[in-house]
């Protein structure tokens, strides 16, 4: 007598073979037009950023005066007191290293703003010198012919912008501050977000809606690329919630050797991000490490290096940092433009499949199909060895969708480093039949398909194995802006 498992496997194979009607495909994939009024296509903006190759990260804020990595938000703003601010020196030092841009921490996690904001929060207007650091930085770097980039933390401990405590007023505060930064300081090449959807900040993109913020940035500065530092839980081979993928080497994140997406790698010249008392006498990262291990190999892999050089409490770079930057410039001549990149599809909206009712052709005893739409790329659903095909079926309830995604857990295990799927089909129900709307036979770690916008009641992903036990880490259905 056949076992329950054998019966289910037979039923799965029968279902897969009988529910695919031999009728024309009514909906064909198409490229997605740029939804914002950019002067240049996003691919060109990403390419131009990669052509810069090397930039200076400048962590300078309240923490500089507290010997901390995160500033103490309970301290008064008057703690911030640079006695001899010299942003011209920063820019000249960056240029001596053959850097092409700088990025300043306009607001770190403690919530103190380095510009004269009109929003009702602590800022440089509450300090003794009332110096607009953002303005001085932008003018100095532009004068040296360098691009200007800004860093902004979504997490804000001083103003209590944190998980489970987000209000419409706090979202508006963020929008108002970003509007100031992207309106008052000229062209901004890149905006780095931090403290958002990270394991330590826990503010998901649903509480402070990513796409609303993304759309605001693109409205104010259409040619500004966005780099979200904390999209690390998403597969490294795709652009989830970021135009430029970020890898923080100080936190153990490393650029995959086969990466083909536009990226930046964040490292520090000192041990920490912010200046600490005594750093002028401590060893810096070795020149050989910076040039031979970081700059050269990463530049060959569509990745910029952004090296943090933290100013001291005077508001200057210490002599040892200035000297090391000049040494880098002599050892590493700027190599010119980066290798061309392919167009990449970017996910900016919520996954409509997450948490929806889901079923599978068959599942291992301890692994349900809900592992493939739980919002966690570390959990997976898989086909057991010997199964010739299988499917996942999600009830989307009639949602409008134009982007379909599935991810395999490449490199999660030592023996799962390449594709295990021979072919796949995305199908929707049409009059009781399953109709294929997109298909392929060479998926990457993350397979993204763009379609005409359609309403989908039930969505099915049908896969055929290339090698035993293919896993699906997550499936996604999105309605990206058109």
Output the domain CATH number for residue 355. Answer: 2.60.120.260
| CATH code at position 320 | 3.20.20.80
Structural domain of 383:
4-32+347-478
What's residue 257's pLDDT?
67
Q: Which of 340, 317, 338 is nearest to 95 (CA)?
A: 317
State whether 272 and 403 are in the same domain: no
- Is 339 part of a structural domain of the chain? no
CA torsion 147-153-159-160 (nearest 10°) is: 170
213 within some domain = yes
Report the b/e string of 234-245 with b at 16+ CB within 10 A. Answer: bbbbbbbbbbbb
Torsion angle defined by CA atoms of residues 425, 429, 433 and 436, in that order, rounded to the nearest 10 degrees: -20
Reference 128, options 68, 184, 76; nearest CA is 76
Please report whether residue 91 resides in a domain. Answer: yes
Is 101 within 8 Å of 192 (Cβ atoms)? no
In sequence order, what are the residues at sequence separation of 6 or more whose Cβ sits closer than 8 angstroms to the Cβ of residue 415?
Answer: none
- What pLDDT is recorded for position 444? 87
In a domain, 156, yes or no: yes
Q: Indicate the number of domains in the chain.
A: 2
Structural domain contains residue 77: yes
Same domain, 280 and 194: yes
9 and 90 fall within a common domain: no
Extended beta strands in 11-146, E state:
54-58, 101-107
Strand residue runs (E) in 125-282: 147-153, 190-194, 225-228, 239-240, 245-248, 263-268
What gap in Å lies between CA 244 and CA 266, rounded to an integer? 12
Angle of CA points 201, 205, 208, to nearest 5°: 85
Q: Distance of alpha carbon 173 from its chain centroid, rounded?
A: 22
Distance between first and last Cα of the chain: 55
Q: Residue 270 in contact with residue 307, Cβ under 8 Å?
A: no
Same domain, yes or no: 442 and 314 = no
The per-residue pLDDT string of the chain (482 residues; one tens digit each, 9 = 90 and over) reads: 333 333 333 333 333 333 333 333 333 334 444 556 667 899 999 999 999 999 999 999 999 999 999 999 999 999 999 999 999 999 999 999 999 999 999 999 999 999 999 999 999 999 999 999 999 999 999 999 999 999 999 999 999 999 999 999 999 999 999 999 999 999 999 999 999 998 889 999 999 999 999 999 999 999 999 999 976 678 888 999 999 999 987 767 777 766 789 999 999 999 999 999 999 999 999 999 999 999 998 888 899 999 999 999 999 999 999 999 999 999 999 999 999 999 999 999 999 999 999 999 998 878 899 999 999 999 999 999 999 999 999 999 999 999 999 999 998 899 999 999 999 999 999 888 999 999 998 778 999 999 999 999 999 999 999 999 999 999 999 999 87
For residues 325 and 417, membership in a common domain is answered with no
Tell me: do 198 and 50 sit in the same domain.
yes
146 and 252, same domain (yes or no):
yes
pTM reported for the whole predicted model: 0.90
Residues 20 and 129 in one domain: no
Residues 204 and 229 reside in one and the same domain: yes
> Is 341 inside any structural domain?
no
Q: Cα dihedral sign for 181, 185, 186, 190?
A: negative
Domain boundary among 331, 361, 380: 331
Q: Token digits for 464?
A: 């055929």
Q: Which of 279, 297, 331 is the last residue of a domain?
A: 331
| 260 and 290 in a common domain | yes
**330: enclosing H helix or E strand:** helix 319-331
**Is the same domain home to 239 and 177?**
yes
Last residue in a domain, options 282, 299, 331? 331
Task: Kindly state whether residue 24 falls inside one of the protein's structural domains.
Answer: yes
Count the alpha carbons within 13 Å of 379 in the hemisphere toward its beta carbon. 11
If asked whether residues 406 and 317 sit together in one domain, one would say: no
Query: What does the alpha-carbon distance between residue 264 and residue 204 come to, in Å, rounded to a whole number?
Result: 22
Residues 6+ apart with CB under 8 A from 108: 59, 61, 62, 63, 70, 71, 151, 153, 194
- CA 195 – CA 91 distance, rounded (Å): 27
Task: Give the pair of three-digit tokens for residue 210.
Answer: 């990513």
Q: Is residue 340 part of a domain?
A: no
């Amino acid at each position: 007598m056949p076992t329950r498992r054998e019966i289910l496997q037979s039923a799965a194979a029968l279902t897969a073979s009988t529910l695919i009607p031999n009728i024309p495909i009514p909906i064909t994939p198409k490229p997605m037009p740029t939804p914002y009024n950019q002067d240049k296509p996003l691919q060109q903006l990403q390419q131009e950023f990669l052509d810069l190759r090397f930039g200076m990260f400048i962590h300078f804020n309240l923490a500089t005066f507290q010997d901390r990595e995160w500033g103490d938000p309970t301290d008064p703003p008057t703690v911030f007191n640079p006695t001899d601010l010299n942003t011209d020196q920063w820019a000249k030092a960056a240029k001596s290293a053959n850097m092409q841009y700088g990025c300043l921490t306009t607001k770190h996690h403690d919530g103190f703003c380095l510009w004269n904001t009109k929003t009702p929060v602590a800022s440089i207007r509450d300090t003794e010198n009332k110096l607009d650091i953002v303005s001085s930085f932008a003018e100095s770097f532009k004068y040296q012919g360098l691009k200007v980039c800004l860093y902004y933390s979504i997490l804000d401990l001083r103003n209590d912008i944190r998980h489970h405590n987000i209000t419409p007023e706090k979202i508006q505060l963020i929008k108002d501050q970003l509007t100031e930064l992207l309106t008052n300081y000229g062209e901004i090449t890149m905006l780095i977000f931090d403290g958002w959807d990270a394991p330590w900040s826990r503010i998901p993109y649903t509480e402070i809606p990513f796409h609303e913020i993304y759309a605001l940035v693109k409205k104010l500065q259409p040619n500004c690329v966005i780099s979200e530092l904390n999209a690390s839980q998403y597969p490294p081979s795709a652009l989830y919630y970021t135009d430029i993928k970020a890898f923080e080497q100080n936190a153990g994140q490393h650029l995959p050797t086969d990466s083909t997406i536009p990226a930046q790698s964040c490292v520090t010249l000192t041990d920490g991000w912010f200046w600490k008392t005594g750093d002028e006498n401590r060893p810096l990262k070795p020149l050989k490490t910076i040039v031979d291990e970081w700059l050269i190999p990463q530049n060959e892999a569509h990745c910029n290096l952004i090296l943090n050089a933290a100013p001291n409490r005077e508001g200057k770079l210490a002599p040892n940092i200035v000297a090391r930057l000049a040494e880098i410039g002599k050892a590493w001549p700027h190599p010119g433009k980066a290798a061309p990149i392919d167009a990449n599809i970017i996910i900016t909206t919520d996954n409509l499949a997450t948490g929806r009712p889901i079923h599978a052709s068959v599942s291992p005893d301890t692994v349900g199909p809900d592992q493939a739409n739980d919002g966690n790329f570390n959990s997976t659903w898989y086909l057991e060895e010997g199964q010739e095909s299988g499917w996942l079926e999600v009830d989307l309830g009639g949602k409008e969708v134009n982007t379909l995604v599935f991810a395999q857990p490449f490199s999660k295990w030592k023996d799962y480093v390449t594709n295990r799927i021979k072919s796949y089909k995305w199908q929707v129900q049409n009059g009781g039949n399953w109709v294929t709307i997109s298909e392929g036979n060479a998926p990457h770690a993350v397979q993204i398909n763009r379609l005409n916008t359609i309403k989908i009641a039930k969505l099915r992903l049908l896969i055929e194995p290339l090698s035993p036990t293919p896993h699906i880490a997550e499936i996604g259905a999105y309605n990206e802006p058109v």
